[in-house]
Every structure is written in structure tokens, then in C-alpha cells.
Amino acid sequence: MRLKLSITYTAPQVFIMGFLLLLAPQLLAQQDSQFSQYMYNTETINPAYAGSRGVMAFTGLYRTQWVGLDGAPETFNFTFNTPVGESKRIGLGLTFVKDQLGPADESTIAGDFSYTIPINQEVKLGFGLKAGINLLNVDYSLLNIHNPNDELQQFNIDNRLTPLIGAGLYLHNDKNWYMGFSVPNFLETTHYDDSSVSNASEKAALYTIGGYVFDLSDKVKLKPAVLGKFVSGAPIAVDLSASFMFNNSFSIGAAYRLDAAFSGLAGFQVNDGLLIGYAYDYGIQDLSNYNSGSHEIFLRFELFGEKAPSRFLTPRFF
């Protein structure tokens, strides 16, 4: 008799259950990639962020999770965005995310469009749209198959393509605060293998994000931030963080992921156009007994063009 399981993956720490693909006729996959440095990586979840910094920006992020655990998640993320036109109200961007977990890898490629309107002289509201595709691959031969005649392992999933459509709002000023609301993908998609024995479903997630920059002195700033994620039928996921920034160049702080992990954060503004960051996560769940934590490296490179000097009269810290 085949064991019937229905598993909902609500956070990466339970995604290790993906190794039970051999047993599960129905599998609900990790909804979206997880990042500790979300405050620097907003475009991935909210297309309205595209172009909001007023310059051409490239970002790259690499995350290796649960180090020491075979088949643990790895994520690579790349984004590009730039304002367009004299008014810089239009923003265009590109997002690429690749997740690898055991026998499965999923790639997301999406284009981002935003339009920003001024609420007053300081506050701006951006509207964003995201459209793209997901590609899913599952190679069951990478699993340790207890029963070589199991029907499930006979049918790999190869480049299973599904569309995505998302939208977002991003409200901010150019100095010290921001907030956003977004749904990166409205479409609930289900990936079937050829035998219709298994599937992986992804539900729409609502994200909220916000942050503020407090001036504690001429040389020290405090930057708290929060990220919330809401998925139907799953517990609310909340990330809280706070960093101190010194001389507008070096920052250090900590973060807490609700019921999941504590994180240490560090960043360094190498020059006007280059920011690098690092995060280390220490899990507080039982799985932490079997790995040595998670590492995340972030890089942002910006090109300013002819108007660079005026921009740094009021530098952006988010």
C-alpha cells in the first residue's frame, strides 16, 4: 500500500522533507526564497521598488542554508533595475532567482515595471508589475531509492514551465523611511510529473516590508526593518532586524526570524557605488542540531551617471 502524504511547506526549515519525495504523492513546495538581507533585496519580492533609488543598480546574493546537511538549500539571486526618462518616474528591472534543494531546482526569471507618483515634495508612491516564468526540475535519481521499482522515481520533472504575474506598492521618502505591500505571484501553480503521481504547488504570498532610519548622532544611525509574509493555510512568517550604521559606511546588527532563527548582519559601503553585506543565521529549531547554520553574501553595485554629486546630498540607506 502506498503511503499518502500531503505536506505544506511554509518555511525553508521544514523543506528538508523534500527528501520524502519518494513517499509523497502530493507535495507542497517551499513558497519563495528566503533572505536575511531582505532590506537590500526588495525588488525580488516587490516590483514597485524598481528604479526607486534613482540610479542604475545591480545586486547579487548567494545563500547557503543548513551548512553540513546533504542536499540543503542553496539560492542565487540577481536583480537589475534602473529609472527611465527625465522625470525618472518609470522604473524597469530584471529578477533572476535559482533555488537548489536536493534533487530539485527551480529558476525564476521575471521582468519588473514600476511607475512612481509624488504624493508631496518628500513622499513618493510606486506601483509595480512583475511578469515572468518558473522552471522546475526534479531528478529522482539523486535520491536514495529504497524500492527501485517505485513508480514515482521513473518520471523526472524536466523544465516544467509555469507563468507568474505579480504586483506591488512601495511608499517612501528619499531620506529615512519606506513601506511596501506586494504579491510576487498571484497564480497558484501546480507542477505534475508525467505519471500524475506527484505534484508541487505554490500558493500566492502577500509580503509587507517597512523600515526607518533614525539619526542617533552625526555619525551613528539606527536602521530597524521588518518583513512579514502571509500565505493562506500557513503560519505568519515575520523577520525583525536592526542595524547600527557608523559614518555612513559600516553597519552591524542582528535579526530574528519568528520561531526559526537568529541572525548576525554586517555591511560595508566600500565606495559610493559598491555595498557588500554578510549574514549568518543560527537556527533555533531541532534541525539546528544537524547543521552549522546558514551563510548569506550580498553585493550591490550602482552606476550614477552625470548627476551623482547631487544624489549624495541626501544618500539613500535602503
306 confidence band (pLDDT: 50, 70, 90): low
Question: Is residue 110 one of the residues assigned to a domain?
Answer: yes
**Residue 12: closest CA among 305, 252, 250, 237:** 237
Higher pLDDT, 241 or 88: 241
Higher pLDDT, 19 or 303: 303
DSSP code of 183?
Answer: E
Question: Is residue 123 one of the residues assigned to a domain?
Answer: yes
Question: Is residue 65 one of the residues assigned to a domain?
Answer: yes
Residue 282 has pLDDT above 70, yes or no: yes
Task: Determine the pLDDT at residue 33.
Answer: 79
Lowest mean pLDDT among 115-124, 134-143, 166-175, 243-252: 134-143
Residue 62 has pLDDT above 70, yes or no: yes
Give the list of residues 6+ apart from residue 55 with CB closer than 8 angstroms, or none: 82, 83, 302, 303, 304, 305, 308, 311
Give this prediction's pTM. Answer: 0.83
Question: Is residue 106 one of the residues assigned to a domain?
Answer: yes
Q: Which domain holds residue 160?
A: 6-201+268-279+298-311
116 confidence band (pLDDT: 50, 70, 90): very high
Residue 167 has pLDDT above 90, yes or no: yes
Instruction: Tell whether the torsion through CA atoms of 138, 140, 142 and 146 is positive or negative.
Output: positive
- The answer to whether 15 and 9 are in contact (CB under 8 A) is yes
- The answer to whether 162 and 150 are in contact (CB under 8 A) is no
Task: Determine the pLDDT at residue 159.
Answer: 85
9 confidence band (pLDDT: 50, 70, 90): very low
Task: Determine the pLDDT at residue 169.
Answer: 98
Question: Is residue 216 one of the residues assigned to a domain?
Answer: no
Task: Determine the pLDDT at residue 270.
Answer: 95
Give the list of residues 6+ apart from residue 225 with CB closer than 8 angstroms, or none: 38, 39, 209, 210, 211, 240, 241, 242, 318
Question: Is residue 263 one of the residues assigned to a domain?
Answer: no
The three cell numbers locating residue 138: 526534479
Task: Determine the pLDDT at residue 308.
Answer: 53
158 confidence band (pLDDT: 50, 70, 90): confident
Three-class SS of residue 39?
Answer: helix
If you average pLDDT over every residue of the chain, what do you get?
84
Task: Determine the pLDDT at residue 152.
Answer: 61
DSSP code of 174?
Answer: S
Average pLDDT over residues 66-92: 93
pLDDT single digits (tens) 201-228: 678 999 999 999 999 999 999 999 999 9
Task: Report the 10 Å Cβ neighbour count for 175.
Answer: 12
Residue 11 has pLDDT above 50, yes or no: no
pLDDT single digits (tens) 45-60: 999 999 999 999 999 9
Higher pLDDT, 72 or 22: 72
Question: Is residue 194 one of the residues assigned to a domain?
Answer: yes
Q: How many domains are there within the chain?
A: 1
**Residue 34: closest CA among 285, 305, 279:** 279
Task: Determine the pLDDT at residue 13.
Answer: 33
Question: Is residue 172 one of the residues assigned to a domain?
Answer: yes
Residue type at position 254:
A
24 confidence band (pLDDT: 50, 70, 90): very low
